[in-house]
């Protein structure tokens, strides 16, 4: 039998919910996939216990009991917000999930009447930089040798988006 891949491929949909400290072990596992210095579940739990920190977790729709496939964590204090981290599991990328997670943060910040959103991103992280630029972030600074890894150091771009 001949298989036609585009007909058999299942389209995925995702639902988001607010992150809670209970999600810490699962999101720490996701974080390990991509970050040279992954954060532990204890670090995530203590961040999520802070009043200023919030985030969203994504699961495939209809698979509530399944492990998260993406998450975003942000902090809002005195009108200024920051993306602390965002990650989408490799098998779920380029399907609009990073966009959905960032959009959820922006909606929450608009509700809270925040003024600006900042983030730091590795200058070589083309995927994340493309995502942020599509959201209207622009570069406002650079921190040389900010990220250290086994292959050397790289700089961080500081990006900002006005929310007013
Ligand atoms: C960055 C990341 C969160 C994007 O998640 P994603 O679910 O794949 O992103 P989306 O599918 O929502 O993409 C939205 C847009 O971002 C841009 N983009 C995302 N991945 C891209 C890539 N690999 N190359 C170029 N542009 C990319 C595109 O403009 C894309 O829109 P399009 O698909 O219509 O072209 C994901 O690649 C990731 O988890 N990376 C590892 C962790 C990381 O680097 N986090 C950022 C730390 S600052």
Q: Is residue 154 part of a domain?
A: yes
Provide the domain count of the chain: 1
Task: Quote the distance between the C-alpha of residue 69 and its chain's center.
Answer: 11
Residue span of the structural domain in which 59 resides: 11-162
Write the DSSP string, 152-164.
EEEEEEEEEEE--
Ligand 1 touching residue 126 (CB < 6 A)? yes
Nearest ligand 1 atom to alpha carbon 35: 42
* Residue whose CA lies nearest to ligand 1 atom number 19: 127
* Residue whose CA lies nearest to ligand 1 atom number 8: 93
* Distance between CA atoms of residues 48 and 110, nearest Å: 20
Look at residue 129 and tell me whether its pLDDT is greater than 50: yes
Q: Is residue 2 part of a domain?
A: no
Percent of the chain at pLDDT > 70 equals 91
Ligand 1 touching residue 95 (CB < 6 A)? yes
Rounded to the nearest angstrom, the distance between the alpha carbon of 146 and the centre of ligand 1 is 21
pLDDT, tens digit (0-9, with 9 covering 90-100), for 134-149 = 999 999 999 999 998 8
Q: Is residue 20 part of a domain?
A: yes
**Average pLDDT of span 32-41:** 91
Distances from the Cα of 147 to the Cα of 38, 91, 138, angstroms: 12, 25, 20
Name the token pair of 68: 């998260």
Rounded to the nearest angstrom, the distance between the alpha carbon of 82 and the centre of ligand 1 is 18
pLDDT, tens digit (0-9, with 9 covering 90-100), for 39-76 = 999 999 999 999 999 999 999 987 656 789 999 999 99
Q: What is the mean pLDDT of the chain?
A: 91
Rounded to the nearest angstrom, the distance between the alpha carbon of 115 and the centre of ligand 1 is 25
Look at residue 5 and tell me whether its pLDDT is greater than 60: no
- Tell me the pTM: 0.93
63: domain CATH number is 3.40.630.30
Q: Is residue 4 part of a domain?
A: no
Rounded to the nearest angstrom, the distance between the alpha carbon of 20 and the centre of ligand 1 is 24
């Amino acid at each position: 039998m001949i298989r036609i891949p585009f007909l058999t491929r299942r389209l995925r949909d995702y639902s988001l919910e607010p992150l809670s400290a209970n999600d810490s072990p699962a999101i720490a596992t996701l974080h390990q996939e991509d970050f040279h210095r992954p954060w532990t579940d204890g670090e995530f739990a203590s961040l999520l216990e802070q009043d200023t920190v919030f985030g969203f977790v994504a699961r495939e729709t209809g698979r509530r009991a399944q492990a998260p496939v993406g998450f975003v964590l942000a902090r809002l204090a005195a009108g200024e917000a920051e993306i602390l981290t965002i990650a989408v599991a490799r098998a779920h990328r380029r399907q609009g999930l990073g966009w959905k997670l960032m959009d959820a943060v922006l909606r929450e910040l608009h509700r809270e009447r925040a003024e600006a959103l900042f983030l730091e991103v590795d200058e070589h992280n083309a995927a994340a930089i493309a995502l942020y630029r599509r959201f209207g972030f622009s570069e406002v600074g650079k921190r040389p040798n900010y990220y250290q890894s086994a292959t050397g150091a790289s700089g961080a771009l500081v990006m900002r988006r006005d929310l007013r």
